[in-house]
Structure 1
Amino acid sequence: MVEHPSGFAAIVLVGGKARRFAGCAKSELVVGGKTILQRMLSASETAAARVVVGARPADAVPLPAGVLRVLEDPPGSGPARAARAGLAKVPDDCDRVAILGGDLPFLSPEALRLLHEHVDAAGPDTGAVFCDNAGRRQWLCGLWPTDRIRQNAAEIEPGAPARHLFTGIDVETVTWDDASPPPWFDCDTPEDLDQARTWAADLK
């Protein structure tokens, strides 16, 4: 098991309409025999606190023991407000928080360790996010100083974009150079899901 420093929390945002999947929650899609949410919670199991934010289907697999769940206020008010709701459940002694979209089937302990390494090197007030192969920052696949995120979240209005959470925070950009599927890969479309399932099958 990959070890992380103590005092880190993980917030997984599972809300959203998922219109491209006929309303099926992306976090509940199955990749490699498990739902994406199950895979993400397993990847972040060393976190001192794990918080799932957003509505889940009535027949969803129960969350593991110790994982907290909360809804954003008001419901459907966007990822920034969802992160704000999740932060309310993060203990004060968690000095870092991973804020993660709920559709990342290849998030891994190694990926979280790499984010930790970058923020350790950069300093306590710096965040780190993965970037994709085109160099775009994947804002909902990163690790942040909890106090700074709390300050920004306090000003978040319903519907505000996720990037408002990160205003004024220095950011380290992290690339994934391993041959395994990238942790920033998100299942936005049915084609993405097909690709994820192909990769997962190849890993067996």
Structure 2
Amino acid sequence: MQVDELTTLGRRDRKKRQTRAALAAAALRLVAERGLDQVTVEDISEAADVSARTFFNYFPTKDDALVGDSEGDRERVLRALAAVPAEQPALEALRRAFIAAVEEAQGDAELWQLRLRVVTQHPVLLGRLVTGNATTERALVEAIAARTGLPADDAYPALVVAVAGAALRAAMIRWATGDAHRLAALLDESFATVAAGLPDPRTG
């Protein structure tokens, strides 16, 4: 492949990323202003200055534009999990894998905080965010089963993934609603509390 072809492909990929980001940002702004049921795909497309047909080239539904790139998130987390040394406990391995994802969110804090505010205001979206996605959870369960030598239908892999996902969501919601700490610090705090057995704070 010639250099000019590579340049063209690079520009095309950048343009696709820019269009996808513009659609997501438009969807989030409109839903934050009007509410979920008062925004259509046509509204989002118009705000991003593209056609509705173009919208569906990037997202299968309006909700997908709001919750973000679940497939990309899944691939990043799975790659990060595979890079964690095998001797690390499953819960710690998931914490390390999630760090890469939250650092990316921190780098685009304004958009992510808007996304999280929209998601928390519309519970129907909450379960689709990051590890709430059923496909992502299933992939993580399979990865944890492989790491621990357990069958994928054993209770432990499913339980540890569910607990880790809850810790991640709790940290992200705190961050989105105004906590001044970095998201990674909130994630570490959530996982530390889980690892300690969720002790009752009243017992000191």
TM-score, structure 1 length as denominator?
A: 0.30
TM-score, structure 2 length as denominator?
A: 0.30
More helix by proportion, 1 or 2? 2
More strand by proportion, 1 or 2? 1
